[in-house]
Amino acid sequence: MFPSGKLYSRKERRPKDFSKSWRVDEMGIDTIYSGVCTDEVNTVIPPVPVYCDCNLGSAPVCGADLDISSCTKPDKKSRKKKKGLVGEDVTEVMIQQATSPPSHCLSRAALVLFEFNATYISRDFTWPTPTNITEVQAFQKCKTTVEASVAFQGCKNVPDIGFSVSLDSCVIDIQIMDDLVWAEKALTSIIQQCQTQLEVNTELWVNVSGEIAPNPTIIDNLCPNACSGQGTCKDNDLVVQISYTFISIVSNVLVTQSTNFTVIGNPMLVAGPSGQALQLDGATQYIDLSTNNNCCLGNPGQCQFGLSVTFNLKFVTLTENMYIFSNGGDEPDGFGTAMYYRRNRLFLTVSTKTKEWTVETTTVKVNAFIKVDFSWSQQTGLALYFDDKEVASTKIYVT
């Protein structure tokens, strides 16, 4: 729609006339940047819409904000500052700082104008690209990348996922950036739109164990790029299928069937529930995972749909400040994952650059192997399981 209210109905890849119509004027006065001076006072208060949540078998709940869907919420009572890594809602900050009328309307001082080039015209991109990528090649790359994914096969019959629009945008991205790697962005866009449709369009929901919910057959395959071949999806979380079978320790190097790790403090291998286990004292002995900060465990923020981890653990003794594993997840200026024992409790922490989730439990066995599972995502929070039974969980994070 044009600023005048007229609907723009043309279809073109780069609607220059439409874009120009929304460009701020040369003086830069009537803009969101500078604010608009007006003497008009609107005394009419519009009615507040009411929304209702109607669940089967229960009375409807109505309110003004029930149209807003929120994920996990920060705990305002115990906010933990992460030095140098604190994020903020920029929109919320701008709203709080806004004044009405704008301050320049009450002053005779010269207005500092928004700096821009009013005559700028973006250049046209042509085919082939500088590296000789043709339009046909770009389209085929975008199309095959999307159609080859497991996620798209589940989403292709979901309405309004923007398949053709995503392909067109993908081709333009490749033309502008002159790089075929941008084909992955088309798949990411389709996955996001598919997930949104499955969550908000209740007509697509199915009966799951007596409850109406989004189709788990589709949801379980929405992990980006089919988990990059490294695992499978479960409840929209990445379950890593790479296992580490301990073979031997040679010169402080722990040898496994897939990856070798540096070990500190001369730990040793002992008999485990299946194969060998690594015995650590929890203080001076540990596995160095500093080279794995680019994976989900080292940087959970990279895992768009979360992660799940499984391992066997036996406590020989329980010592204050004993660590089971850590790569900085519990540090004030760090992020990652950590499990540690303090104050007669076992703690598990998962943190990103701006948020931190922590659970604790006193249900700790000694001198017996237990199966430990934990799953985390920014949408569902953190949950810890012992022998397939949940012992702690939270959806609350601190920042």
| Residue 177 Cα distances to 163, 164, 195, 300, 318, angstroms | 21, 20, 27, 28, 55
User: Each residue of 260-285: b (16+ CB within 10 Å) or e?
Assistant: ebebeeebebeebeeeebbebebeeb
Mean pLDDT over all residues of the chain? 77
- The gap from C-alpha 251 to its chain's centroid, in whole angstroms, comes to 39
- Give the per-residue pLDDT at 230: 46
- Could you tell me the two tokens for 277? 């286990």
Which of 261 and 367 is assigned the larger pLDDT?
A: 367
Which of 177 and 2 is assigned the larger pLDDT?
A: 177
- Give the per-residue pLDDT at 31: 56
Measured CA to CA, the distance from residue 150 to residue 158 in angstroms comes to 14
Measured CA to CA, the distance from residue 79 to residue 260 in angstroms comes to 38
Nearest to 234 by CA among 220, 223, 224: 220
Residue type, 304: Q
Which of 374 and 65 is assigned the larger pLDDT?
A: 374
Which of 390 and 1 is assigned the larger pLDDT?
A: 390
Q: Is 70 exceeded by the pLDDT of residue 354?
A: yes
The vertex-47 CA angle with 43 and 52, nearest 5°, equals 165
Q: Is 60 exceeded by the pLDDT of residue 43?
A: no
**Judging by DSSP bridges, how do beta strands 307-313 and 237-240 pair with one another?**
parallel
CB 161 within 8 A of CB 152: no
Sign of CA dihedral 129, 131, 134, 139: negative
DSSP for 60-115 reads -EEESSTT------B-GGG----TT-----HHHHHHHH--SS-GGGG--SPP-PPP
Residue type, 225: N
- Could you tell me the two tokens for 184? 């992955």
When pLDDT is averaged across residues 227-249 and rounded to a whole number, the result is: 58
Measured CA to CA, the distance from residue 395 to residue 74 in angstroms comes to 9
- Give the per-residue pLDDT at 385: 94
- Which residues have a Cβ under 8 Å from the Cβ of 236 and sit 6 or more positions away? 195, 219, 220, 222, 223, 305, 306, 377, 379
- Give the per-residue pLDDT at 384: 95
Q: Is 80 exceeded by the pLDDT of residue 220?
A: no
Q: Tens digit of pLDDT for each residue in 132-168?
A: 999 999 999 999 988 888 888 888 888 888 888 889 9
Instruction: Please give the domain boundaries of the chain with CATH numbers for all domains.
Output: 135-222 (no CATH), 246-394 (2.60.120.200)
Which of 195 and 113 is assigned the larger pLDDT?
A: 195
Q: Is 70 exceeded by the pLDDT of residue 240?
A: no
- Give the per-residue pLDDT at 227: 44
CB 236 within 8 A of CB 223: yes
Q: Which of 114-128, 284-298, 334-348, 353-367 has the lowest mean pLDDT?
A: 284-298
Measured CA to CA, the distance from residue 327 to residue 329 in angstroms comes to 6
| pLDDT band, residue 82 (cuts 50/70/90) | very low
Dihedral pair phi/psi, residue 231, rounded to 5°: 175, -165
Q: Which residues pair with 308 in a beta bridge?
A: 239, 375
- Give the per-residue pLDDT at 370: 93
- Give the per-residue pLDDT at 78: 45
Strands (E), 272-388: 276-279, 286-288, 307-313, 322-326, 336-342, 345-351, 356-361, 370-377, 381-386
- Give the per-residue pLDDT at 373: 93
- The gap from C-alpha 291 to its chain's centroid, in whole angstroms, comes to 22
Q: Check: pTM over 0.85? Answer yes or no.
A: no
How many percent of the chain have pLDDT more than 70?
A: 71
Q: Is 80 exceeded by the pLDDT of residue 93?
A: no
Which of 389 and 82 is assigned the larger pLDDT?
A: 389
Q: Is 60 exceeded by the pLDDT of residue 35?
A: no
216: cis peptide before it, omega within 30°? no
Nearest to 351 by CA among 368, 339, 365, 367: 339
- Give the per-residue pLDDT at 210: 84
Nearest to 222 by CA among 165, 148, 141, 155: 155
- Give the per-residue pLDDT at 226: 46
